[in-house]
Amino acid sequence: MSKMPEGNEFSWKKRPAVVQVKEADLPSSIPAQTGLTFNVWYNRWSQGNSGKERFVNPYRLEPELHEGLTSGDKAGQVYFCLYFSKGMCCRGKKCDYLHHIPTEDDIVRLSLKSDVLDCFGREKFADYREDMGGVGSFRKKNRTLYIGGIAGALNNKQLKSSQIENRIRFVFGKLGAVERVRYVEAKNCAFVKYKHQANAEFSKEAMSNQTLLINSDKEWAERSEGSGLLVKWANDDPNPEAQRREKIEQEEESLQVMLNLLKKSQKVITGSTNATAGISSLGKKRLLEPSEAVLENQTSIFRSIPVSALNKLKKRKQENTNTLPQKERVQNLSSLVDYPSSEED
């Protein structure tokens, strides 16, 4: 068991995903009647008071039990199953999406896909929603979640703040590599920062409307009477110390990006003979290339993915492009793509 020092050992890779809920047991998709007419478009009752909006999800993702291989793994799917994250996928191994917690490999693959989709394949928006809920924004790489509604998630059970923090740490820690957790007692809310944005996206969906009660609490049986956790995107930390830390992180990142840019520009120059005179004169200067060992430790703009892993993918990419005919490659370099078919297509 303790053979591999790296985190590459996942027990779910050896077993098929289980059915979290049988299809017959799923609750009706029509919510309980709170109005006179049912609006099919919004999936909501209208004409009447809307009733309680908040609820507790009766299902919950249990990573150790539910993770497994699906047909999505065979098909090379990169996106995760939204229902799996909520603990209510009824398709099990037949699901077309992935049934596991996002790992480092997944994050490398996701970063190659566009930045405009989240880890479930949903489109992001330019701005955050007013309440900071929802899919999120493509303008900001937000890895921090705000967790509110803690009192409701505990059915108003009185706990010490360290106990609450422990519970939050425990449930959120299972859903990805955590960078820091902070519970603010005065506001009864918490902030969880993940290593990767994909994990934050995943656990945002997984933990929304969940209860913080555990089996041994005497309130456990009445957990559905509470109101689940509110998990939203966090705004920037106003703490000056945190901002300084963020700034240092960003500086480090931009230096890394600059190094990568130089490397890339050199590659382009050596790769093509058609480079302009101005650029080729630049290319004559040799760049100090860090050794492979150094590369191993460096992290790329995609937070903390080893550069070597990205480089591997990049190399594969280049092999593909090298097989293209010369003319096409030149077009690609000019970055505005030539569109050969007619306007009326």
Partner 1 sequence: MNQPAICETCLGDQDRLTRAANGAQCKICTLPFDVYHFKSHGAVAKTVICLNCSKQRNICQCCLLDLQWHIPVEVRDRVLSIVQGSDVATSEAHNDMMKRFIALKDGDSFKLGGAKVTSDAEATAAVLSQIRSILDNANPSQPAKALPDSATASSQTESAANKANFPDVDVSHLLKRLPIKASLEPAPAFFLYNIDPSVPEWAIMDKVAELVGTANWHDTHSTAVAINHAARCGGIRFKSTDLGHKFAETVPRFTTPSGTVKGVMQLRNSRIHIVAWPQFNRAAMGDKYAECRKLGLCLDQIVQKDLSTPSKAPSKSKKQGKVAKQSIGLLKNKKRKRRVLDIEL
Which CB, 55 or 125, lies closer to partner 1?
Answer: 125
Give min distance, CB of 35 to partner 1, in A: 31
DSSP per-residue codes, 2-41:
---SSTT--GGGGSBPPPSS-GGGSPPSSPPP-SSEEETT
Question: At 232, is the secondary structure helix, strand, or coil?
Answer: strand
Among 2, 26, 170, which Cα is nearest to 89's?
Answer: 26
Which CB, 23 or 130, lies closer to partner 1?
Answer: 130
Give min distance, CB of 222 to partner 1, in A: 24
Stated as kind and residue range, the H or E segment containing 148 is: strand 144-148
Which CB, 46 or 235, lies closer to partner 1?
Answer: 235
Give min distance, CB of 9 to partner 1, in A: 6
Give min distance, CB of 185 to partner 1, in A: 6
Cα–Cα distances in angstroms (integers) from residue 21 to residues 45, 196, 228, in the given order: 26, 29, 20
**Residue 34 burial (C-beta neighbours within 10 Å; 0-12, 13-18, 19+):** middle
Give min distance, CB of 50 to partner 1, in A: 27
Which CB, 21 or 330, lies closer to partner 1?
Answer: 330
Cα 84 from Cα 17, distance rounded (Å): 10
Which CB, 44 or 139, lies closer to partner 1?
Answer: 139
Q: Residues 183, 186, 188, 190: is their CA dihedral positive or negative?
A: negative
